[in-house]
A and B are shown apart, each in its own frame.
Chain A
Amino acid sequence: MTGEANYTGGVISRFTGHPALTRFAWGVAGVGILATLWFLAGVWLESNSSTASFAAFGLIPTLEAIPELLAAGKLQAASAASGYRLGLGLLIAIVIGVPIGIVMGRVKWFQEYSNSAFQFLRMISPLSWMPLAVLVFATWNGSIIFLIAIASVWPVMFATAAGLAKIDPNWFKVARNLGATPLQMLSNVIMPAIAFDVFSGIRLALGVAWIVLVPAEYLGVTSGLGYAIEDARETLTYNHLTALVLTIGVIGYVLDSILVVLINRYSWQRGGA
């Protein structure tokens, strides 16, 4: 490459040549703008005598609260409790949703019988199951996990069924021809073929579950991020409240990013598909 070509290419490719880097730079800029607005809002709250008592909502007090909460072990405990409920609820949704989704995609009559029933159940707001869950489950913990599971199962189920619909039946013929057992058909053909859709469904489910989790924890339980927020509100430690809200955002973002990585890892469709 000549020096000249290198020069012109270098300047442009610093941003366009590395799409991941460009995206990262934009992300940092976006977060920076958000933080600045937050900071200015905090300054405004503090400078106004009528709102000065809410100054703890600002960026600086919030950032100061994080090491405090970490030192007290509160942030870890709350995240662990919420994470446990979220994880178990999602796991139940996957264990139930994926097999039913596979049957829906493979067995035509089952799809026809079940579709409207499932679509109907799906449209029921997950939180509206709350009173019922409390009656059925002995513990608050159990009810919350149930709510997470019932909120997450639909996206997982429907995404799995949609993935199956895209499977080329010839793949089964080829696999059978080469001596695949039904179990190998599942592990070597069906699962890799639908992994992308399943993870996309789990990503949607995670979003819903994360939204359901926090309000569910406002009630009954004495652990978790939702409870900690409610607790901070009652004890008027507003900077703890915002620190917890920030934590919820960060954890949700990280979990979502992990799923995006998995989705990309298992995406095999090319082009416009």
Chain B
Amino acid sequence: MRFKGKDLLGIEDLDASDIDLVLSTAESLREVSEREIKKVPTLRGKTIINLFYEPSTRTRTSFEIAAKRMSADAVNISVSTSSVVKGETIKDTAKNLEAMKPDCIVIRHSASGVPMMLANYVKCSVVNAGDGAHEHPSQALLDMLTVKEKKGAIAGLKLSIIGDITHSRVARSNIYGFTKLGAQVTVAGPPTMVPPGIEKLGCRATSSMDDAIKDADVIMMLRIQLERQKESFFPSVREYSRLYGLDEAKLNRAKKDVLILHPGPINRGVEVSSEVADGPHSLILDQVTNGVAVRMAIFYLLLGAAKE
């Protein structure tokens, strides 16, 4: 089986069967990383370009390791958006990359929509590794894989996503993904950081942390950008943390078997206390491990599956 399109731009474009396919493929590829020789020859001879316009060592490394475990050649290109040549259009960029004959371009960009614009111009596959506040599909897939691993299934679960929803691509991709698999999603944060019309994406919105955590099976804490304080999205880190930070006191009001996710990197003591981050409910490191498996699955489904 194979994806319908050539690209993975967002979870919004996928249906439940696409998501199931990635998750089951990732489950079967997960053991590769447990082997002594962590490599399969599946994508030998394929070239993958990691094009990162925004620094992100974690995500880039995860994609790079995934490519290498599948025996593809991975090339990293880091561009700082400030150094982008003025007058170069997206089409120019696309045609230049295409001339190097890659099979896949993994792109991370601070502006929403760039992966889609790029995909319109190139014949090779494009994987969105996070664009602005739009989507981060591989993150949502690894989150779903992590929850599925612990809970057995996604359908019927209650997921609460807490923090700065407005600026979060992780939130959007997870709202789409978890609801498509039959979970109920609640988003919570200060009204300044819950964007208008978010319910139309399929979730419920609240500004009450207690309301969000009391019935949740899974709590996903988002990273807060401390600079947002300057734009008056919240008055102080202290008050934010008091209202929306997850510490043991709040965790005691949640279900006993609740799972805690965080896309990382964590502001310890701000959105999650150290005790919670390192505690028994936290799946933060499982997420990292599953990230590699999910990205291997994505490469396999986009580049390899058709040949078999």
Do they bind each other? no
Binding site for A on B (CB under 8 A): none
